[in-house]
Chain A
Amino acid sequence: MLEAINLYKRYQQGEIDVVAVDHLTYRFPAGLTAVVGPSGSGKTTLLNLLAGFDVPTEGEVRLGNIPLSALSEDDRSELRLKHMGFVFQQWNLIPTLTALENVAFPMMLASIALKERTARAAALLEAVGLGPRGKHLPNRLSGGEQQRVAIARALALNPPILFADEPTGNLDSVSGARVMELLLQQAREGRTVILVTHDLELARKAGRILHLRDGRLVRVEEVSPVSAAEASF
């Protein structure tokens, strides 16, 4: 279970102190949780802290019993490798690797044998509907296809948590819907999927929506009873 405890992040922007996340507490249950808010509300900073890309000024992020900020950079990397998957809005794929190799990359980091990881990567690409595109480099794939490769890669090591930061931001409506369906499918399978978006309509597909404003969690909205859990903050 991923948990934010009294999370506070302040950083310097020129001469001004900016509070990006302001004493936020929330326990993320299984299922899809959308984080919404206007630009500058702290969505991306929250994701950075939850994923261990950055450390909070105060408070902590816990994965089970492990406080992320107590870990070294390398230990946080290892924790991400084993427990988290990522789909970003852009810069999602390694440009010199094929789609198949991109999916297999985390498995290489996890020392999974070449044969096994190639087979698993091919199966994942098949699952996201990109089986025949495995040998293509990212620049030969459309935006939607790249996002689907990123989803396949995020699932490579079967992590319990998926982060998606504006995953449909650059996509047309058909591609966006397809990507969203894949994320929902992961949520239905019991993963914790955290979707950061400014698109409220997209967020409505999630089990619950966290509304952020000026770094503060102002409202938790339960949308669907299917995967909803008790909200606490």
Chain B
Amino acid sequence: MLAEQLWGDFCIFTTLREPFAVILMGVEVLALIYRNLRARPIRSILTLLGIVVSTASMVLFLSFGEGLRKALGAELSTVGPAVLVLPEGVEAFSPGYPELRPDIVEALKNSAPELGISQVIPYVVLTRGGFDPQSAFVFQGLPDGIGPQALYPNLALAEGTPIPGPQGAVVGSRLAERNQLSLGKLLRLSPSVSLRVEGILKPNGGLSDNIIYVPARVVQAALGTRNYTAAAVGVSAGFTASQVAKAIQARMAGVSAQTTSDVMRFAERAVRISDLVRFGISLVALVVGGLLVANTVMMSVYERIREFGLMRALGAKQGFIFGLVLLEALLLGVVGGLLGLILGQAASGLVNWFTGREVGLALSAVTFRLASFALLVAVVLGLLAGFLPARTASRLKVVEALGRL
């Protein structure tokens, strides 16, 4: 019964039968709504601004998740070896103290032909500094005779040598630019270890532009261990990454073999959780925006009681009035949503300009999926905000509305 009643309220043009007439009348009703909003310009603009800001903040908040997904996808697509072997319980993007023992790396190399492995590149990661990209340094220690192009085939050399010598370093382009590094300059890995810049890479547009590639032994010495952070494993022809990963898992205890799609899945899980947190925060802005619309439309209904009474007296049905008020809220929601989307996109562009300059990554992205979601939220917001005022307006008694008691 309630559903029927609500549907009855929603079917605003009940006197019309032909679709063309419905569209034509819809356009005229929209013009009527536009006139009403224009009649109270300041209030309409302030309400619109409320929705614009709340939608833009939601778009910007959620764009970080989308940007992260895109950046991770782009990063992983540049990695050559298809399988990553990590100590059990460690995820690809959160390496801690190196725990992958050299004997495991050796065992991997020894079993390479039967497991379908074409190459094993163990590496060790050391980070220095904090969250400030200007003072944060990531050292990736590679085996002797191996350069960064073995891990990231797209990397190209700008000057110097591509493979770091025993006390040398090859640096990413953005890092070199940011720190004004040139060939021959000294880099301090630890208080007792300094390395000379021997090669500078061309820009690649990813995280690899911010890494310092050094010999693994130097990093291990600085950390006081012989362990590695992970081992990148290439797949032989005739095998798939997933087959190799499964074979490694089955053969070796204490390690986790992850393909790029596994890594992407883990990352997606983490990003989704952070999406929820960010959506929760932006929900506050959305609720405020929704209440703003509801308040404006309700005030408008009270101000226009006589007008609605007159319409009813002239023959307008309850559904017509309901639709008129609901569409007003919807129009505010949709227009505010669209403008909010544009503002969110602009803010996202600004964030990307900043992060691009700092770390060479676009961390924010307004994807089609996000844009559609934001518009859907704005539409639902408009509908929810307009429902109660619309119901109130449509149920006014003509005699009361016209003050004819």
Contact = CB atoms under 8 A, between A and B. Distances in A.
Whether A associates with B in a native complex is yes
Q: In the A-B complex, list the 5 residue pairs whose CB atoms are closest, starting with the nearest.
A: A81-B315, A96-B35, A53-B398, A74-B317, A91-B306
B21 interface: yes
Contacts of A93: 310
A96 B15 contact: no
B364 interface: no
A114 B317 contact: no
Nearest to B311: A94
B16 A114 contact: no
Contact of A109 (B316, B404, B405): B316
Contacts of A113: 24
Nearest to B36: A96
Contacts of A54: 397-399
Interface centre among A74, A95, A153 (most CB of B within 10 A): A74
Interface in A55-97: 73-74, 77-78, 80-82, 86, 88, 91-97
A94 B315 contact: no
B106 to A, nearest CB: 83
Contacts, number: 80
Nearest to A105: B314
Interface residues of A, number: 31
B315 A114 contact: no
Nearest to B37: A96
A32 interface: no
18 contacts: A48-B398, A51-B313, A53-B313, A53-B399, A77-B317, A78-B15, A80-B313, A88-B310, A91-B307, A91-B309, A91-B310, A94-B310, A97-B32, A109-B316, A111-B15, A111-B16, A111-B21, A114-B28
Contact of A53 (B24, B317, B318, B402): B402
B196 interface: no
Given A73-B318, A91-B306, A109-B315, A114 B24 contact: yes
Interface of A: 11, 44, 48, 51, 53-54, 73-74, 77-78, 80-82, 86, 88, 91-97, 105-106, 108-111, 113-114, 153
Contact of B314 (A44, A74, A81, A114): A81
Nearest to B310: A91
Interface string B281-315: 00000000000000000000000001101111111
Given A95-B39, A111-B15, A106 B314 contact: yes
B312 A48 contact: no
Contacts of A110: 15, 315
A48 to B, nearest CB: 5
Nearest to B317: A74
A74 B320 CA distance: 10
Contacts of B206: none
Interface string B27-40: 01000100110110
B270 interface: no
Given A53-B398, A54-B399, A111-B15, A77 B24 contact: no
A48 B401 CA distance: 12
A86 B15 contact: no
Contact of B315 (A11, A80, A95, A97): A80
B360 interface: no
A95 B399 CA distance: 19
B222 interface: no
B15 A53 contact: no
A17 B20 CA distance: 51
Interface string B372-405: 0000000000000000000000000111001111
Given A78-B317, A96-B35, A97-B32, A91 B312 contact: no
B98 interface: no
Given A91-B306, A108-B25, A110-B15, A96 B319 contact: no
A48 B314 CA distance: 13
Contacts of B24: 113-114
A53 B398 CA distance: 6
B361 to A, nearest CB: 51
